[in-house]
A = this chain, B = another copy of it.
Amino acid sequence: MAAQKPNMKTLDLDGIFNPERIAMIGASANPRKWGFIILLNILKANYRGRVYPINPREASILGYPCYRSLRDLPEKVDMVLITTPAKVVPDLIDECGAQRIPYVIVITSDFSEAGPEGAALERDVVARAEKYGIRLVGPNSMGVFGSKTNLHATMPPVMPIHGNVSMFSQSGNVGVQMLAWGEQEGLGFNKFVSSGNEGDLNCIDYLRYFAEDRDTGVILGYLEGIEPGANLVAEAKKISRKKPILVFKGGRTEAGGKAAASHSAAMAGENEIFRAAFRQSGMVEVKTSQALMDCAKAFSHYPLPRGNRVGIITRGGGWGVITADFCEENGLVVPPLPEKIIKKFNQILPKYWSHGNPVDLVATISHDPYPECLEILSRWEGIDAIIALGAGRRGFTYRYSKDVTGPQEVMDAIRMASTFIEQRNQIPDEMLKGVRQLIVKSKKPIIVVAIGSEKSHKLNLADYQVVSYPTPERAVRVLWQMYKYSRFLNSPQDERKF
Contacts and interface: CB of A to CB of B under 8 A. Distances in A.
Contact of A321 (B260, B396, B405, B420): B260
Given A318-B169, A321-B263, A325-B253, A45 B288 contact: no
Nearest to A357: B255
B473 A407 contact: no
Contact of A416 (B31, B248, B404): B31
Interface in A355-389: 355-358, 360, 365-366
Listed residue (A259, A354, A365, A409) with the most chain B CB atoms within 10 angstroms of its CB: A259
A90 interface: no
Contacts of A250: 318, 321-322, 325
A208 interface: no
A3 interface: no
Given A32-B365, A454-B454, A46 B289 contact: no
3 closest A-B pairs by CB: A171-B318, A63-B407, A263-B317
Given A316-B171, A403-B46, A259 B62 contact: no
Listed residue (A253, A322, A398, A473) with the most chain B CB atoms within 10 angstroms of its CB: A322
A438 interface: no
18 contacts: A31-B420, A32-B366, A40-B414, A40-B417, A43-B404, A64-B407, A114-B352, A159-B399, A174-B319, A181-B396, A254-B328, A255-B327, A258-B336, A259-B317, A259-B321, A259-B324, A259-B358, A262-B355
Listed residue (A260, A263, A401, A453) with the most chain B CB atoms within 10 angstroms of its CB: A263
Contacts of A256: 321-322, 324-325, 328
Contact of A317 (B37, B63, B171, B366): B171
Contacts of A329: 252-253
A37 B400 CA distance: 12
B451 A252 contact: no
Given A32-B365, A46-B404, A250-B322, 12 more contacts: A32-B366, A40-B410, A63-B408, A180-B451, A183-B396, A184-B453, A224-B321, A251-B321, A252-B325, A253-B324, A255-B325, A256-B321
Interface in A411-432: 413-414, 416-417, 420-421
A490 interface: no
A164 interface: no
Nearest to A390: B173
Contacts of A334: 255
A85 interface: no
Contacts of A317: 171, 173, 259-260, 262-264
A264 B173 CA distance: 47
Interface residues of A, number: 106
A156 interface: yes
A452 interface: yes
Nearest to A353: B262
A181 B400 CA distance: 15
A318 B224 contact: yes
A305 interface: no
A319 B412 CA distance: 52
B173 A259 contact: no
Nearest to A45: B401
A173 B315 contact: yes
Given A289-B471, A354-B263, A37 B417 contact: yes
A413 B62 contact: yes
Contacts of A401: 44-46, 159
A61 B409 CA distance: 8
A184 B264 contact: no
A156 B398 contact: yes
Nearest to A156: B398
Contact of A44 (B113, B320, B396, B404): B404
A282 interface: no
A472 interface: yes
A225 to B, nearest CB: 10
Interface in A175-219: 175, 177, 180-181, 183-184
Contacts of A315: 173
Nearest to A113: B352
